[in-house]
Amino acid sequence: MEGGGNEFTGEITLRPLELSDIDDFMAWASDEKVTRFCTWEPAICLNGHTIGDISVTKNSGNDKCRGELGYVLGSKYWGRGIATKVVKQVANTIFAEWPHLERLEAIVDVENLGSQRVLEKAGFQREGVLRKYMLLKGKTRDMVMFSRLSSDPKS
Amino acid sequence: MAIDLSRISLRPFNLTDVDDFMLWAGDDQVTRFLRWKTFTSKEEALTFINDVCIPHPWRRSICINDRSIGFVSIFPGSGDDRCRADMGYGIATKYWGQGITTKAVKIALSQVFKDFPNLVRLQSFVAVENIASQRVLEKVGFLKEGMLRKYSYLKGNLEDLFVYSFLATDSFPVVDP
């Protein structure tokens, strides 16, 4: 998972993004997109703005208790609490929407401090560092595992 | 009387292992922390050996004097996960507590990083109640990285699992004679 990319597509209006736009973004985020099966999708346009993407992947069988959270936010929108707000919204609502889900997890690069802070603020628990867990752009990376359980308090 | 560990070896499964296979794979104690169900018939076991064990990317029978007493399995990932593989193992209860599984895992370690050149990280997930298995991994030199809460179902129970790893860059244990 990456904390944000430098590009976003879609038409950009000439007014600055306002906090009131976030309600629309979250309505979308907690509705259709959390039921997607895939990881990354092409950028989504919203009110002419594409500011990011959030998804939760489902598992089956013995792993159906577990879903993996992924999100990306255009770097222009970093530092304003947007990702935190969106992640909190998803974490607070998804367990009711997916009754089989017990554990929402997120796997973050050890160097991605911004994303780790988002998860901590959204009530995720840091469980450990998985050494050389996956390849990202051809290099093996240490990743931090975070989780929030359906039994954890809402954030 | 302690088993002479030089009698322990790893090799691929054969259909002729079926009777020995049933002795441990038909035992609830052995399969308690494994994902697969206890085997109840020789036919079931033959099908499993033929359809799963033999074509498997890396599954070995743990043997004493070439008789099957358990298994070690390595499941490699693909794509961006190809640096990673999951390991599982089990052994007949008669052979618990004698250093045999530890030896078998050490042998597996000495082979698997060569068999899978992309492999960087070997990991194993162990139920928190499975103390014996945790000790095996610790003796071999795996690092416990954390506890994954309510990570998956095991025999219908939602389990907290410890995640352990061994890297290609870690110090390989000596495989005692």
Out of A105, A128, A134, name the one closest to residue B83 (CB): A134
pLDDT beneath 70, residues of chain B: 1, 177
How many Cβ atoms from other residues are within 10 Å of residue B47's Cβ? 13
Among A2-6, A104-108, A112-116, B3-7, the minimum mean pLDDT is found in A2-6
Out of A102, A133, A136, name the one closest to residue B158 (CB): A102
Which residues 5-44 in chain A show a CB within 8 A of chain B? none
Give the amino acid at A9. Answer: T
HSE toward the beta carbon, residue B107, CA cutoff 13 A: 24
Cα–Cα distance, B5 to B103 (Å, whole number): 7
pLDDT band at A2 (very low <50, low <70, confident <90, very high): very low
Pairing of strands B121-127, B143-154: unpaired
pLDDT of residue A74: 79
Residue in chain A lying closest to B170 (CA): A131
pLDDT band at A47 (very low <50, low <70, confident <90, very high): low
pLDDT of residue B43: 97
Tokens of B19: 């009777």
Model pLDDT for residues B70-120, shown as the tens digit of each residue: 999 999 998 889 999 999 999 999 999 999 999 999 999 999 999 999 999
What percent of the residues of chain B are helix, what percent strand, and what percent coil, each to the nearest 5?
Answer: 35, 35, 30
pTM for the full model? Answer: 0.85
Nearest CA to B151 out of A66, A27, A124 is that of A66
Give the amino acid at A39. Answer: T
Report the gap between the CA of A79 and the closest CA in chain B (Å). Answer: 29
For residue B94, give every residue at least 6 positions away whose Cβ sits within 8 Å of its Cβ, in sequence order, or none. B69
Contact B9, B66 (CB under 8 A): yes
Instruction: Write the burial class of residue A155 (CB in 10 Å: 0-12 exposed, 13-18 middle, 19+ buried).
Output: middle
Residue in chain A lying closest to B144 (CA): A128
Cα–Cα distance, B96 to B128 (Å, whole number): 18
Using a CB–CB cutoff of 8 Å, tell me whether A110 touches chain B: no
pLDDT of residue B141: 97
Report the gap between the CA of B33 and the closest CA in chain A (Å). Answer: 13
